[in-house]
């Protein structure tokens, strides 16, 4: 493929991105490192969300529940276990939770699945809130958290893991099965795709990473309130980034996250009231005019250029 | 001829409605058997039971000597049974080739490597006349094309028994003729067994060696097309009591 957004260009962009983000903590101040950390967090969350929602068409509005569970595990186990162990355990906890609720939750689809996942996240949030209140805890503070650079590289590893996971899924036989069931579940099943098993595996894979991301971000914020780590805006922002990026491979989230993150950074400080209005307008524009997101836009430009090249041939 | 598919005492109730009652018949390997019946006779329900989309209330289904009742549709497909749908269900935003790739990778053939699956799929597309559409989106095909795509997808699974649900409905007479040629070719070249639901009588009579007739969920006749054409019970159902 010789288009600008082809495999070679993608590989080059990823390589440059990895080098730049690896160098950031050594050349930038803490503010910029923190900004890079947030960018990597959104990347990991969006890539992992796409493993389920973009690949299968099951749009989850409850991705934050895994993030929140991971953060909560880090907070309640802080200074009792090595934080690396807790990060991994957070991934296992989120995956186990997904496996537990997956079978009943994945029986419904479309708007019912959206509402159900949102409700599930809220249920967990208020259950933990009740448990915290019962123990007399309104919030928690973490002392002695690791250095920002350690937190940064932990998140960097998770972003790479999530990108690698979606890249593998989108190119694999498993991913082809997920795409087929997204298109028509009944037809896919009668062609041999084990739809229930595949959906559950995708759900579990999609859940493990936000669990670990939540655990890492608890180390960054050091201040824990239940409402903060289970904030539905986290799920909504992830969906917005995935819609803006488009596609069902790892390229879309990269474009969507960078695009929305830049808008956030530019507008949030300068025009906070305008930010939400502009974000809304951008999302409406993308849904109506660019349903395949930035990936689709890049693809359309390439196809037009190739069509002109064909027409120009003698 | 040994029976590839054997259905015995099959029944299906939806609450108070009996869709199928005590249906028994067998299909030999390599046969083309038609299923006739008015709307609501239970034809598509019969396919759904054989393919595992629905569970029977009574009776047994054996494919290649082994029971398949209770298996999931994907498990039955891997055994070698594939079905089309009365209302076509292509994967619209995947290409024609990708539609077939699903069948080749996950069906009876289990061609897990993409290159193997695509090579087999392209071969099937050649045979059904869709090779030049391989890279087109399935949604861009005409109804006739989408019906061919569904058949091709089933063949790509490597199935031995194809359940074809009204694959000629809505086609022009020319397209029906082409479809008959394609089906005969597929059956002969791949040794497929076909169970065919069809309302296009000319097609059913030309294509099938044997026909079973369902009426209100019961099997009322079975025989060659000529025998079915002369069967008083069938004529009575189709044309009234004094036909």
- Set out the domains of chain B in order of their start, with CATH numbers: 3-239 (3.40.50.300)
Say whether B102 and A188 touch across the interface (CB within 8 A).
yes
Q: What is the pTM of this model?
A: 0.91
Distance from the A50 Cα atom to the nearest Cα atom in chain B, whole angstroms: 17
Residue A4 has pLDDT above 50, yes or no: no
List Cα–Cα distances, A20 to A14, A152, A259, B8, in angstroms.
10, 13, 17, 68
Nearest to A43 by CA among A207, A251, A228: A251
Say whether A191 and B102 touch across the interface (CB within 8 A).
yes
Residue A1 has pLDDT above 60, yes or no: no
Say whether A180 and B85 touch across the interface (CB within 8 A).
no
Token readout for A252 is 């879309």
Chosen for mutation from A178, A190, A198 (greatest number of chain B CBs closer than 10 Å) is: A190
Average pLDDT of span A14-24: 94
Over the stretch B71-108, which tens digit does the pLDDT of each residue have? 999 999 999 999 999 999 999 999 999 999 999 999 99
Beta carbons within 8 Å of A88's beta carbon, 6+ residues apart: A212
For residue B196, the surrounding DSSP H or E stretch is strand B193-197
Q: How confident is the model at residue A300 (pLDDT cuts 50, 70, 90)?
A: low
Q: How many CB atoms lie within 10 A of CB B238?
A: 15
The more confident residue out of B100 and B231 is B100
Chosen for mutation from B73, B92, B98, B154 (greatest number of chain A CBs closer than 10 Å) is: B73
* DSSP label of A269: H
For residue B239, the surrounding DSSP H or E stretch is helix B232-239
Assigned CATH for A7-312: 1.10.3470
Helical packing angle, B173-190 and B143-156, nearest 10°:
10
Domains of chain A: which residue ranges? 7-312
The more confident residue out of B8 and A307 is B8
In angstroms, the first-to-last Cα distance of chain B is 35
Contacts of A292 in chain B (CB under 8 A): none
Over the stretch A214-266, which tens digit does the pLDDT of each residue have? 999 999 998 889 999 999 999 999 999 999 998 888 999 999 999 999 888 88
Say whether B112 and A184 touch across the interface (CB within 8 A).
no
Nearest-CA residue of chain A relative to B107? A192
The partner residue sitting opposite A183, judged by closest CB among B92, B112, B154, is B92
Q: How confident is the model at residue A16 (pLDDT cuts 50, 70, 90)?
A: very high
Say whether A192 and B51 touch across the interface (CB within 8 A).
no
**Tokens 């990991």 correspond to what residue?**
A44
Residue A311: the pLDDT is: 52
List B26's β-bridge partners, or say none: B6
Beta carbons within 8 Å of B78's beta carbon, 6+ residues apart: A192, B106, B107, B108, B110
Q: How confident is the model at residue A287 (pLDDT cuts 50, 70, 90)?
A: confident
H helix intervals, B35-162: 43-51, 73-79, 96-106, 114-128, 143-156
User: How does strand B66-67 pair with strand B17-28?
Assistant: unpaired
Q: How many CA atoms lie within 13 A of B197 on its CB side?
A: 23
Query: Which of the residue ranges A138-142, A185-189, A213-217 would you say has the lowest mean pLDDT?
Result: A138-142
**Tokens 């009426």 correspond to what residue?**
B215
Distance from the A14 Cα atom to the nearest Cα atom in chain B, whole angstroms: 25
């Amino acid at each position: 493929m010789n288009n600008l957004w082809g495999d070679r260009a993608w590989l080059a962009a990823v390589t440059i991105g990895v080098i730049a983000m690896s160098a950031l903590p050594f050349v930038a101040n803490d503010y910029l490192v923190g900004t890079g950390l947030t960018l990597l967090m959104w990347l990991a969350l969006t890539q992992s969300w796409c493993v389920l929602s973009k690949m299968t068409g099951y749009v989850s509005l409850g991705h934050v529940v895994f993030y929140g569970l991971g953060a909560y595990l880090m907070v309640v186990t802080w200074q009792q276990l090595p934080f690396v162990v807790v990060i991994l355990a957070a991934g296992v906890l989120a995956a186990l939770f997904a496996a537990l609720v997956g079978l009943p939750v994945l029986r419904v689809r479309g708007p019912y699945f959206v509402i159900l996942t949102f409700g599930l996240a809220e249920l967990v949030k208020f259950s933990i809130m009740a448990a915290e209140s019962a123990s007399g805890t309104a919030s928690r503070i973490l002392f002695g958290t690791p250095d920002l650079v350690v937190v940064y590289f932990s998140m960097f590893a998770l972003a790479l893991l999530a990108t690698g996971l979606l890249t593998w899924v989108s190119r694999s036989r498993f991913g082809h099965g997920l795409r087929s069931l997204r298109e028509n579940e009944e037809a896919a099943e009668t062609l041999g795709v084990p739809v229930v098993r595949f959906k559950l595996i995708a759900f579990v894979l999609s859940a493990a990473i936000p669990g670990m991301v939540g655990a890492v971000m608890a180390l960054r914020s050091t201040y824990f309130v239940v409402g903060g780590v289970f904030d539905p805006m986290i799920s909504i922002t992830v969906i917005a980034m995935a819609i803006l990026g488009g596609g069902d491979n790892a390229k879309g989230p990269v474009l969507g996250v960078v695009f929305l993150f830049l808008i956030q950074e530019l507008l949030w400080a300068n025009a906070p009231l305008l930010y939400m209005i502009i974000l809304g307008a951008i999302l409406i524009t993308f849904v109506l005019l660019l349903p395949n997101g930035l990936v689709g836009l890049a693809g359309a430009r390439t196809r037009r250029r190739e069509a002109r090249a064909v027409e120009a041939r003698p | 001829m040994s029976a590839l598919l054997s259905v015995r005492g099959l029944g299906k109730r939806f609450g108070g409605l009996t869709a199928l009652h005590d249906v028994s018949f067998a299909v030999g390997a390599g046969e083309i058997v038609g299923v006739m019946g008015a709307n609501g006779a239970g034809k598509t329900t019969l396919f759904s039971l054989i393919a595992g989309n629905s569970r029977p209330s009574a009776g047994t289904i054996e494919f290649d000597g082994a029971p398949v009742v209770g298996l999931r549709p994907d498990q039955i497909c891997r055994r070698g049974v594939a079905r089309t749908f009365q209302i076509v269900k292509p994967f619209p935003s995947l290409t024609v080739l990708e539609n077939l790739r699903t069948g080749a990778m996950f069906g009876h053939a289990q061609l897990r490597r993409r290159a193997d699956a695509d090579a087999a799929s392209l071969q099937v597309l050649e045979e059904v006349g869709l090779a030049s559409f391989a890279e087109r989106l399935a949604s861009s095909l005409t109804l006739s094309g989408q019906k061919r795509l569904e058949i091709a997808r089933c063949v790509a699974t490597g199935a031995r028994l194809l359940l074809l649900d009204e694959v000629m409905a809505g086609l022009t007479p020319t397209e029906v003729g082409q479809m008959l040629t394609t089906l005969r070719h597929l059956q002969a070249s791949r040794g497929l067994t076909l169970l065919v639901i069809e309302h296009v009588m000319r097609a059913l009579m030309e294509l099938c060696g044997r026909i079973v007739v369902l009426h209100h969920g019961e099997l009322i006749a079975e025989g060659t097309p000529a025998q079915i054409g002369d069967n008083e019970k069938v004529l009575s159902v189709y044309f009234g009591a004094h036909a």
